[in-house]
Structure 1
């Protein structure tokens, strides 16, 4: 097998549904159809003919998506089965064997594995924990070469919750232009900002930009498996060609529900609900961590659905996660999945009572094993 196991996704798939408390959910507590749709919309949904629909995404849905970006229309959009398919298609559209990919780390590591499978050469430039997760752009500048085909970003970042400043964005674009590289940005957490202000997309800032988005994270609708790519028309046309060889199309019911979710008033309702949860839960989780003094260290996220935490215990992060799972039926994501031992990730987009009940079990476990 030429493609490496995607450890982060595999670990989550194995364990997130086998525990009493999954504390590493990376999005928000999902909506039900009754919460999301009105009676007329549900009636229409239940009478929908279950055909294929338009394979690159229904025109109404692509219009809703494009309206969230600068100087874009439906021809700039490809609808995919989640943002994971979007990442796969984008890489196979924009990269060729032998290309270099310089990738922000830590990150959702899917693109790293895809690049390796394609015979590309991934390199890492780092967000610096000792500088509140700000990117080391001098490192980025030193890594790009004439062979660099893509600079891969995640903004807002998974797992740190860092959001790039305007100056950092402009410098990244300048670096990309200097070697004629693509900027590919995972923007799936755009809309989950704690201050309530949606960050600006990279779209429109440079002619070689492509981004992804989706309804799984900031919109609390992961079961729809609805994502998208947006970029230059001619390259989006190329992505559609790859999409024909992968999943062909997202489900017609997801097209219908997704278009409703992205209507202006409904979209604002969803984002407000989720940002409120995020802020309330962050306060509660920080209070829980702070009771332990310097045992835990963290930088508050600016966006996203999680808190990335460093711990000061003499135990490997995978061992810690496995122990909590087997002894207390609590699942946390080990920092090893990001190549960062002595860290773990906690999701803060779930119901607050659920999170605190899970943390109570962690508290019991820490007292039993480490006497803290």
Structure 2
């Protein structure tokens, strides 16, 4: 029986092995988490009622009122076309296991969060990479996209806004992706966990939902809402495909927790949802300004295409050291954790999360600059 070689998830392996116990952690991809008390206060949660909730199995595909709320974010969808998952992670895994058949290929854009691609490779499917163009603000290479998509393409995967660059797809990019998918009947799987984290303006990144009839949307409470510890995500799509994913969900996790669903139900309802996103944008905008000011202390060494959204930046550096070695020295010598660009398939970069409390951010960047000075001096 054929068994594909296993491909570890490079970014998550790096995080799970190194992130806990580090003093200055800039490796995460969401905004600084809100406390349980902060959410209770913001959402005006009735604690006695919450405490009376039975710690039982919840509805397996997601609490009805929560799915109703999520469906409202995607006009034309139904609550039966929504499934609540254990984070976006499970949603991506279920999609790969449901849609992909032997001989299918998956088209992904690089750099990106390599979850769909890793799942596809582990199933034995070909992954075709389309490199984003840094000199053009991380825009899509149109010719490379057209070349990559063919009659065997089952999924075109997009993370929009992008992880790690923070790029929001332009209208032209979106049209190209949709046209490429339509040409061969492929599915667009759109990971939209950073929608609502826009760094400038208040117009939210448009969803791929409604742009084409073969679209699956992945989202979660982790990034824009500052609630990663709930481990709650969702998948939205045609009801028949969601039902197929549900059958696989029963094998994978059965369900997310009752408490997570109860809290997410409150967090995603207005006005709490808007308050959480406002909090995220404040952290994102302040944090990026601090990041760029501190990196400017070494002119010509660091450069970053300003992210249009998300809590992170993909920083290019000009130093005589690889991204992996730079990041490991930062960790060993300065107790600072960032993710090397090599984990995204791109050298001479690192991913840095800056949507954090300002004092913490400044101290960590001071340590990063200290190591940079040593490297420039040949140490």
Please confirm whether the aligned pair reaches a TM-score higher than 0.5, indicating the same fold: yes
Partner of residue 71, structure 1: 76
Offset, 1:291: 2.3
Instruction: Indicate the residue corresponding to 1:12 in structure 2.
Output: 15
State the 1:137 CA deviation.
2.0
- Quote the Cα distance in structure 2 between the aligned partners of 1:342 and 1:197: 32
Among 265, 275, 279, the residue aligned to 2:271: 265
Residue 156 of structure 2 is matched in structure 1 by: 151
Provide the rounded CA distance (Å) in 2 between the counterparts of 1:331 and 1:116. Answer: 28
**Root mean square deviation of aligned Cα:** 1.3
Structure 2 distance, partners of 1:237, 1:40, is 32
Pick the aligned partner of 2:344 from 323, 338, 341. Answer: 338
Match of 1:115 in 2: 120
- The reply to whether residue 54 of structure 1 matches residue 80 of structure 2 is no
Q: How is 1:192-207 mapped onto 2 (pairs within 5 angstroms)?
A: 192-194=197-199, 195-207=201-213
CA contact (8 A) 1:25 1:349 kept: no
CA distance in 2, matches of 1:107, 1:196: 24
**1:88 and 2:118 aligned:** no
Moved over 6 A (4+): none
CA deviation vs aligned residue, 1:210-241 (integer Å, no higher than 9, x gap): 01000011110000000010011111111101
SS in 2 for 1:313: coil
Compute the TM-score of the two structures, normalised by the length of structure 2.
0.96
Contact 2:139 2:173 in 1 (8 A): no
How far, CA to CA, are the matches of 1:280 and 1:43 in structure 2? Answer: 36
Match of 1:189 among 194, 198, 222: 194
Q: Secondary structure at the match of 2:252?
A: coil
Residue 309, structure 1, aligned to residue 315, structure 2: yes
Tell me if structure 2 keeps the 8 A contact 1:196–1:275.
no
Aligned partners of 2:166 and 2:313 also within 8 Å: yes
Match of 2:27 in 1: 24
Q: CA deviation at 1:337?
A: 0.3
Contact 1:3 1:114 survives alignment (8 Å): no
Written as runs of structure 1 = structure 2, the 5 A alignment for 1:192-231 is 192-194=197-199, 195-231=201-237
Asked whether the 8 Å contact 1:78–1:240 carries over to 2, the reply is yes
| CA displacement 1:146-178 (0-9 Å, x = unmatched) | 111110111000000000112221221111000
- Counterpart secondary structure, 2:190: strand
Equivalents in 2 of 1:128, 1:355: separation in Å? 29
Distance 1:128 1:119 in 2: 28
Note the C-alpha offset of 1:3. 2.4
Corresponding residue of 1:249: 255
Structure 1, unaligned stretches of length 5 or more?
none
- 2:127 alignment partner, SS class: strand
Following the alignment from structure 1 to structure 2, what is the Cα–Cα distance between the partners of residues 217 and 40? Answer: 21
Q: Which runs of 5+ in 2 are unaligned?
A: none
SS at match of 1:116: helix
Moved more, 227-236 or 41-50: 41-50
What TM-score do you get using the length of structure 1 for normalisation? 0.98
Distance in 2 (alpha carbons) for counterparts of 1:102 and 1:14: 29
Q: Distance in 1 between matches of 2:271 and 2:258?
A: 22
For 2:145 and 2:19, the matched residues in 1 are separated by 35
Aligned length, in residue pairs: 372
C-alpha distance in 2, partners of 1:3/1:68? 36
State the 1:40 CA deviation.
Answer: 4.8
